Amino acid sequence: MATQHSSAPVVCSDVTRRYDGSTGRFGTSGTTVTALDNVSCEITHGSVVGVAGPSGSGKSTLLHLLAGLDTPTAGDIQIYGTSIQTLSSRERTAFRRSHIGMVFQRFHLLPALTAVENVALPLVQAGDSRRKRRDRATELLDAVGLDGRHKHRPGSLSGGEQQRVAIARALAADPAVVIADEPTGELDRETGKQVLDVLTDIATDRAVVIASHDEYTLSRTDRVIKLRDGRRET
Ligand code: ADP
């Protein structure tokens, strides 16, 4: 399904992320919050790494940093050899589009578009031809077990099917890293299991990071990075 990527890992070295309370989404407290405190981790090619920890422990902050959506206050994040904090905001966006796929708890599909159109959407930005986009989206939907559902809109798909469309969309640009934030949070155990089957399957040729509270989901990963109060416990 995917082309061969380099075997270099994702490396996160002594990463700290502080938020200035006066500008954060949590109001104007004026205090500084250290969301991540000197965290180091390596995410190796061909593996699924879990990120665990109680609410407020820094999981989303770490995921946003690994996804290049945010930059650290201190430390270094290298994704397949590129230090993402050295890129300009525009370069980071371009890097993210071609190297990182995101999967969210609530799927974030566009309701007016069919499954195949949702999956093909990132390829419009990549400038691919209409035919190439459709062929790639079709191939990806088949690969996640959704043959026969290509023309369905999200509203007529089950939660598990919607999440598989979202995974296919995350894979559209054949990214080296897929980052999933609570991907089974809205799904029952059986459906969650099918989604995890797909996520573990796609990790054979990339790095997959899954943040979750769920014990079963974490048990399906190869290794768990456990956070508490912004620090690594394990
Ligand atoms: P988790 O995903 O584990 O629930 P987060 O990474 O969302 O944890 O948050 C870690 C800490 O950083 C929390 O104390 C949270 O309140 C704080 N935080 C997260 N984002 C911001 C922000 N934009 N501004 C201010 N504080 C933030």
Q: How many domains does the chain have?
A: 1
Per the domain annotation, does 37 fall within a domain?
no
In a domain, residue 15? The reply is no
- Domain with 164 in it: 45-69+88-232
In a domain, 179, yes or no: yes
Strand 10-20 to 32-43 pairing:
antiparallel
Q: Identify any residues that bridge with 103 across adjacent strands, giving them in sequence order.
A: 180
Atom of ligand 1 nearest to the CA of 33: 26
Long-range contacts of 73-77 (CB under 8 A, 24+ apart): 73/16, 73/17, 73/18, 74/14, 74/15, 74/16, 75/12, 75/13, 75/14, 75/15, 75/16, 75/38, 75/39, 75/40, 76/11, 76/12, 76/13, 76/14, 76/15, 77/10, 77/11, 77/12, 77/13, 77/15
CB-based contact 220:194 (threshold 8 Å) = no
pLDDT given at position 7 = 47
Q: What is the pLDDT of residue 1?
A: 44
For 85-106, what is each residue's pLDDT tens digit? 999 999 999 999 989 999 999 9
For 105, which DSSP code?
A: T
Q: Has residue 19 been placed in a domain?
A: no
Task: State residue 126's pLDDT score.
Answer: 81
- Quick one: pLDDT at residue 26? 58
pLDDT average, residue stretch 148-160? 95
* Ligand 1 center from residue 133 Cα (angstroms): 37
In a domain, 102, yes or no: yes
**Is 61 part of any domain?**
yes
**Closest-lying ligand 1 atom to the alpha carbon of residue 60:** 2
Tell me the CATH number at 96.
Answer: 3.40.50.300
In a domain, residue 17? The reply is: no
Residue 27 falls inside a structural domain: no
Q: Give this prediction's pTM.
A: 0.90
The answer to whether 233 and 227 are in contact (CB under 8 A) is yes
Q: Which is the closest atom of ligand 1 to the Cα of 21?
A: 25
8 A C-beta contact, residue 232 and residue 226: yes
In short, whether 145's Cβ falls inside 6 Å of ligand 1 is no
For residue range 65-88, what is the model confidence (pLDDT) as tens digits? 999 899 999 999 998 889 999 999
Compute the distance between CA of residue 159 and CA of residue 148 in angstroms, rounded to an integer.
16
